[in-house]
Amino acid sequence: MILKEITARTFANRWKRKTYDHKLPSLSRLVVLKWRQFRVETIGGYNFRGQERDFVQRAYDGMGQHTFEIINGAQDWVNWRQIPRAMRGRIPEGAALIVDLGCGPGSSTRIIAWHGAPSWRIIGMDFSEDLIRQARHRVESGGFSTASGKQPAVEFVVGSVVEPFRDASGTELADLSVDYVNSSGIVGHHLSRESFTSLATELRRVVKPHGFVSLDSGPHLKGGIIRSVMERFGFVLRTKVRSVPLDPRPQLVFQKEDMGG
């Protein structure tokens, strides 16, 4: 028991240090991260790419902590640049409800929390039970913090992003209750046009009028498709956020129109 606790704390501290020391990692670090990912995928034969739900879920579920960190290293690099830029000035400073779609082991959620206020309630959602278990473990062992050293209100829920959004107690999120939604490394990588349309239906239900949604474009679902679906559901594209000037896969930041509910 004591040994387990020491291991958990050591890991949480290492994770914190690693994260916060590399808030804006260099381009050369991206090359290293890409190389590691390439090695795991080609030599290790690890395949998680695709849009078929069961295949993707199995791939992430069986991945393990270490492999996930390598597979997701380049995404994490991008996230530290894109997420704060997309969020800035778009979330109320007081109470606010934020949802992080496909949060993995809390890797994107910790960036939102770091740049956020302790008054925010942040819900991370992922369909991999393994990854959500890791995320909860990190919360319990103090792995999340705001930049000012405060404890953020973070919770994690197992669930698919194409089903009704719920909180950690299983309660469905109320209509027009969410201030901001983030997705990193999921919409453009793992959703089809059909599954994204289901997600957009739910976004229209839960997001407050004038609330924001920041979605990742990717190799499968490109910016043009994401934009056309979101516009059909009452969202307006406000900006594209890139990690570097020529970033081919920007975050698309949408705002909900008044009549969108």
User: Which residues in this chain contact ligand SAM in the complex, by CB under 6 A?
Assistant: 53, 56, 60, 72, 75-76, 79, 102-104, 107-108, 126-128, 131, 160-162, 184-186, 190
Tell me the closest approach of the beta carbon of residue 160 to ligand SAM, in angstroms. 4
134 versus 141: smaller Cβ distance to ligand SAM: 134
1 versus 101: smaller Cβ distance to ligand SAM: 101
Tell me the closest approach of the beta carbon of residue 80 to ligand SAM, in angstroms. 10
| Range list of β-strands (E), the chain | 96-101, 120-126, 153-158, 178-183, 207-216, 235-241, 251-256
62 versus 209: smaller Cβ distance to ligand SAM: 62
What gap in Å lies between CA 78 and CA 72, rounded to an integer?
10
166 versus 261: smaller Cβ distance to ligand SAM: 166
- Angle (CA) 241-182-34 rounded to 5° is 65
Helices and strands in the chain: count of H runs, count of E runs: 10, 7
- Angle (CA) 214-203-172 rounded to 5° is 120
Tell me the closest approach of the beta carbon of residue 72 to ligand SAM, in angstroms. 5
What gap in Å lies between CA 125 and CA 127, rounded to an integer?
7
CB 141 within 8 A of CB 113: no
Tell me the closest approach of the beta carbon of residue 40 to ligand SAM, in angstroms. 13
Q: How many CB atoms neighbour CB 37 within 10 A? A: 17
54 versus 258: smaller Cβ distance to ligand SAM: 54
Tell me the closest approach of the beta carbon of residue 184 to ligand SAM, in angstroms. 3
What gap in Å lies between CA 58 and CA 49, rounded to an integer?
11
What gap in Å lies between CA 103 and CA 196, rounded to an integer?
16
What gap in Å lies between CA 249 and CA 178, rounded to an integer?
25
Tell me the closest approach of the beta carbon of residue 96 to ligand SAM, in angstroms. 19
Q: Any idea which residue has 């069986």 for tokens?
A: 62
23 versus 210: smaller Cβ distance to ligand SAM: 23
Tell me the closest approach of the beta carbon of residue 259 to ligand SAM, in angstroms. 28
18 versus 210: smaller Cβ distance to ligand SAM: 18
